[in-house]
Chain A
Amino acid sequence: MSKILGIDLGTAITKSASIVNGEPKALENREGSILTPSIVAQTKGGERVVGILAQRQAITNPKNTVSAVKRFIGRRFSDAEVQKELKLLPYETREKSDGGVEVKMGDKWYNPIEISSMILQKVKADAKDKLGEDVKNVVITCPANFDDSQRKATIAAGEIAGFNVLRVINEPTAAALAYGFGKKDAQKILVYDFGGGTFDVTILDVSPEVVEVLATGGETHLGGNDFDQRIIDWILTEFKKEQGIDLAKDPLALQRLKEAAEKAKTELSSAMETNINLPFITSDADGPKHLEYKISRSQFDSMTNDLITRSIDRVKQTLEEIKMDRGEINEVILVGGTTLIPAARDAVKNFFGKEPNKSINPEEVVAIGAAIEAEILTAKEEGRTPEGDIKSVLLLDVLPLSLGIETLGGVSTPMIMKNTTIPTSGSQVFSTAVDNQSSVEINVLQGERSMASDNRSLGKFVLDGIPPSPRGIPQVEVKFDIDANGILTVTAIDKASNKSQSIKVEGSIGLSKEDIEKMKKDAEINAADDQKKKEMIEAKNIADNLIYQSEKTIKEGGEKVSAELKKEAEDKISELKKVKDGDNIEDIKKRTEELSQAIQKVGAAMYQATQQQPQEPKKEEGPENAPEAETEKE
C-alpha cells in the first residue's frame, strides 16, 4: 500500500497532506511547520535552498531568490498580465525561445516549471522524513481559472520532482472533496477563500460524476495582510499623537510592531480583547519609550469592516454574473487563514443565512482534499479500499453508556467506561463487607450516575458458597466481557473456592438514541449532587471500616496497652458511632481522623510491648484504613 500526498502548491505558500492512521492530515516540513514558503534560492555559497531558509536569506541575496513563479507557470512572456507582474520582481527574467518565461538564479536560467519542481522536491523529501517512506502518487491543486497549458506545466513540475501526478484538481474542488460533498446528490457549492494576500470566490456544481466550475471571482490584492496593516496604522497614529514620534521611520520598531499586530489579530479570533505590549520600542531625549495598547475585538472589527464588505461584494458580483440567487447555494465552504476572523465568518453566515462549513482547518482544507483524492485514485489503482474509508467495511461500535456494578452503600462502580470500542473486557477484584459473608450479589448497572439506584439495572445474580472469613479477606473477581455483537457476559469468581456464577445480557445494552441522550443529560445535570452523595457514602464506609478495625485491635491486643490509651480509643469509637449515621460529612471526617490518631497510638504502644516480649510474636492486621472493597485492575 503506497503512501500518497495531496499538495496545495500556492503562489506564496505550499502545503501538503497525507493519510496518516486512516485520517487525512496536513504534514509538517523539516522545519516543523505545515507552511512551506514557495521560494527557491541559490545562496552566495552556491547552495540551493527552498522554503523558509530561502526566505531568511532573501534580503542578502535578492537577485538569486525566486518567489511567486506560480504567476508565470505555463504562461507567455508577452502576456500583458505577466508583463505587469514582472515589473515587481527583484530577480531577472527573460523571454524563452518558445515564448515562455525564464528566470535567472545563480548563473543559470530556469523556467518556472523547474523552479516549481524544486519546491515539490522539498515537499517530497520532507514527506519521506515524516511518513518513513518515499511517496510517488500525488494530486496537486491549482486555481480554478488555470488554463490547459498552466495545468500541463503543473503536472510537468510534479514529474520532474519525481512524483507520479495522478491528477491536477482545482483548489475549491479540493476543499469540497475534503468535506465529502456531492457524494450523493448534485450540490451548488460556494467556496469563500480568503488567504494572506488574495481573495477568491468560486461557485461549483458538484455531483458524484463531475465537478463543474460555474463561476470564479475575487481580488488579487485583498487578504490577511491588509488586516494586519490596519492594526499597525492605528498604533502608528496613536503613538504619534501621544509621544510625537513616528515609528514608521524606525525599521526595527516597525518590524516588532508588524509581528505584534499579526499576533494580536490571531488572538482576537478567540479572545474579546488583547494587549499589545512593546516595551523600549524607541527612545528620545527623555529616555526610553514604551508602547502599550489594548485592542478589543469590536475595535478591530470596526477598523477592518470595509475589507470584509469588499469580499462580500465580490461574492454578490460573482453570483450575479451567472444570475444565481444566494438561496440556490446549498453549501458554503471557508478556505484560507483570514476566514478564522470571527467577523468574516459572521458576514458569510449573515449573507447566506446559513452556517458555513469550517470544521476543517481552513489553511489545510485544500491540501487535505487533494490527499483524499490521491488516496481514492491510488486505492483504485491498487484494487483496495481507500484508507480512512475502512469504517464502511468494518463497523466497530462504541459503548454508549458506562457499565458497572453496585458496591457497598449503593455506589455504582464503573467496570467499562462509555465510548470504549467493543469487543472489549475488563475485570476487578472485590471483597466482602461483613464478617463471614457467604454470598455477594452482583447488580449489573448501566449509566453515568454515581448512585446505583439512579442507573439502570441490567440484571442481578448471586454468587454464594464463599468460605466464612473476616470481611475484606475473600477475593471475588468480577469480569465484564462484551463481544462484537454487544452481548455482555458478567462473571463473578470466588478465588478461594473457584466457584463462579455468570449472567448474559443480550440486546438490552442497546438503548434507543433518545434514552441514551436522556441518561447522559441526567448524569450531567446531577453530577454535582451525585458527587456529594458518593463522598458521603465513602466517608461513611471509611468510618465504618475504621470502627471495625479499631474494635478488633482493642479486643486482640488491648491488654498490652495502658487503660488510659484504651479508654481514649474506646471513647473515640463511640463518638464516631454517634455521628456516622448522620448527614454531617465534616463531622464524620473529623471524628474518623480523631479515632484514627487514637488507634495509631494504641497500635504503637502494642508494637512496643511486642518488642519488649519477643517470645510472643503475634500477627497483627494493623489498624490502618484497609479499603472496603479491594480493587486490582487487570
Chain B
Amino acid sequence: MKEEKTIEEIEKMLEESEQKKEEYFSGWQREKADFINYKKQEFERLKGTLCIAKESLFEEIIPVLDNFRLAEKAISEEDKNNKSVVGLLMIKKQLEDVVKALGLEEIESIGKAFDPALHEAIEEVEGGEVGIIAEEVEKGYSYNGKILRPSKVKVGK
C-alpha cells in the first residue's frame, strides 16, 4: 500500500516536472527568440539613430540658413557688388551645398498646388490662382522622406 502511494507520488512528481520542463523550455525558447528579435530591432534602431542625429543637426542649422536668406533679401542694390557682400553670399551658398550633400532637401512651393503634407498656409492672398502657392515666407525642408519643417506659404484664393 505504502509502495503504491510512493509510485503515485513519483508519477505526480514526474508529471509536475514534465510540466515545469515544458514551461521552462518554452520560456527559454521564447527568450532566445526575443533576443534574436531584439538584436534585429536594435540594428534597425541604430540606423534610425543616425537619421535622428542628422535631423537634430539640420534643425539647428536651418534657422541659420533662414537668417542668411533674410540677410540676402535686405542687401540694397548698391551693395550687391560690394566684394565683401559677394564673399559672404558665397559662404551662404557653401552652407547650402554642405547641407544638401548631407541629404537635406528643399521643399518646392511657389507655383505648386498647396499640399498640407508639405506646406503650412499662413495667409490667403488675392490675385493668384486658387489653391496655388503664391509666395513662400519660409523655406521648408525634408530629409530621408521625413518633413523636418513644412514651407510656410501664402496661398491664392
A-B contact number at CB 8 A:
50
Decide: B70 and A280 in contact? CB cutoff 8 A.
yes
Q: Give the residue of A21, A49, A252, A283 whose beta carbon is less than 8 angstroms from that of B116.
A: A49
Evaluate contact between B122 and A280: CB separation under 8 angstroms. Answer: no
Q: Does B73 contact A (CB under 8 A)?
A: yes
By beta carbon, the residue of chain B nearest A394 is B27
The reply to whether the CB of A32 lies closer than 8 angstroms to some CB of chain B is yes
The answer to whether A59 touches B124 (Cβ under 8 A) is yes
A288 and B116 in contact (CB under 8 A), knowing A31-B147, A56-B121? no
A contact residues, range? 20 to 34
A288 to B70: give the CA distance in the assembly, Å: 10
B-facing residues in A266-281 (Cβ within 8 Å): 279-280
Q: Verify if A43 is at the interface (C-beta below 8 Å from B).
A: yes
A115 to B46, CA, bound (A): 38
Interface of A is mostly: mixed
Q: A252-B137, A280-B74, A283-B74 are in contact. Are A56 and B157 (CB under 8 A)?
A: no
Chain A residues with Cβ below 8 Å from B155 are 60
Indicate if the CB atoms of A280 and B67 lie closer than 8 Å: yes
Smallest CB gap from A22: residue in B: B34
CB nearest to A60 among chain B residues: B121
CA distance A552 to B157 in the complex (A): 90
Residues of A within 8 A of B71 (CB): 279-280, 288
Residue A420 at the chain B interface, CB threshold 8 Å = no
- Whether B146 and A32, one on each chain, are in contact in the complex, defined by CB atoms closer than 8 angstroms, is yes
Q: What size tier do the contact residues of chain B reach? A: 20 to 34
Which residues of chain B from 13 to 55 have a CB within 8 Å of any chain A CB? Answer: 27, 38, 41
The answer to whether B116 and A57 have CB atoms under 8 Å apart is: yes
Output the nearest chain B residue to A44 by Cβ-Cβ distance. B131
Chain B residues within 8 Å of A252, by CB = 137
Asked, given contacts A21-B38, A44-B131, A280-B71, whether A53 binds B121 with beta carbons under 8 Å apart, the answer is no
Residues of chain A lying within 8 A (CB to CB) of residue B150: 56
**Known A-B contacts A21-B38, A31-B147, A279-B70; A56 and B124 likewise in contact (beta carbons under 8 Å):** no
Check if A299 is an interface residue, CB within 8 A of chain B.
no
In chain A, positions 20-78 with a C-beta closer than 8 Å to chain B are 21, 31-32, 43-45, 49, 53-60
Which of A55, A252, A280 has most B Cβ within 10 Å? Answer: A280
B116 and A56: CB pair below 8 A?
Answer: yes
Q: Is A255 an interface residue (CB 8 A)?
A: yes
Question: In the assembled complex, which residues on chain B have CB atoms less than 8 Å from the CB atom of A54?
Answer: 116
Give B67 Cβ to nearest chain A Cβ, in Å.
5
Residues of B within 8 A of A279 (CB): 67, 70-71
Task: Provide the residues of chain A in CB contact with B70, threshold 8 Å.
Answer: 279-280
Chain B residue with Cβ nearest A255: B122
Chain A residues within an 8 Å CB radius of B124: 59-60
Task: Give the complex CA separation of A255 and B147 in angstroms.
Answer: 20
Please list the residues of chain B having a beta carbon within 8 angstroms of any beta carbon in chain A.
27, 38, 41, 67, 70-71, 73-74, 76, 114, 116-117, 119-124, 131, 137, 146-147, 150, 152, 155, 157
A-B contact sample (9 more), CB < 8 A, given A21-B41, A60-B157, A251-B122: A45-B131, A55-B120, A60-B114, A251-B123, A255-B152, A279-B71, A280-B70, A280-B74, A288-B71
Q: List 17 A-B contacts (CB under 8 A).
A: A21-B38, A21-B41, A32-B146, A44-B131, A45-B131, A55-B120, A58-B121, A59-B124, A60-B121, A60-B124, A251-B122, A279-B67, A279-B71, A280-B67, A280-B70, A283-B74, A394-B27
- What are the nearest 9 A-B pairs in CB distance? A280-B70, A57-B116, A56-B120, A53-B116, A56-B116, A288-B74, A60-B121, A59-B121, A60-B155
